Amino acid sequence: QVPLVESGGGSVQAGGTLSLSCRASGYTYSYNALGWFRQAPGKEREGVAALYTSDDSPFYANSVLGRFVISQDKARNTVYLQMNKLKPEDTAMYYCAAGQVTRLLNPSEYNSWGQGTQVTVSS
């Protein structure tokens, strides 16, 4: 497993913007993908955005397509999530994850998780 440290998040009104970052340490060769997931109370954890570290190809959940942008800084082993045009339904705990995966938005394929950061969007 790879230690992951998240930062960012917070509270914002609908239509606002927030940014998340997640830095991986340790054996960074042990994963081929980095992703962001979220979990709202009473709901299952769902994939939001992820990318393969080798080619930066992003993949997004339909619910955030066109509003969220995932990117990485390979030199810093850091992945970012820029969240624009936020909606109340985006409210959740957001988690960064790393793993050797074949399906980018499938949380069961990731074996390293951050501690989570809360995002709250008010209407």
Residues 89-105 have pLDDT tens digits of 999 999 999 999 999 99
Confidence of residue 1 (pLDDT cuts 50, 70, 90): confident
Rounded to whole angstroms, the Cα distance separating 13 from 15 reads 6
47-73 confidence digits (pLDDT tens): 999 999 998 889 999 999 999 999 999
Contact 74, 81 (CB under 8 A): no
**pLDDT at residue 28 tops 90:** no
What's the token pair of residue 118? 């809360």
* Cβ atoms within 10 Å, residue 39: 15
* pLDDT, greater one: 25 or 26: 25
Nearest to residue 77, comparing CAs of 18, 34, 107, 19? 34
66-91 confidence digits (pLDDT tens): 999 999 998 999 999 999 999 999 99
Q: Which DSSP string corresponds to 15-82?
A: T--EEEEEEE-S-GGG-SEEEEEEE-TTS--EEEEEEETTT--EEE-TTTTTTEEEEEEGGGTEEEEE
Nearest to residue 50, comparing CAs of 100, 16, 87? 100
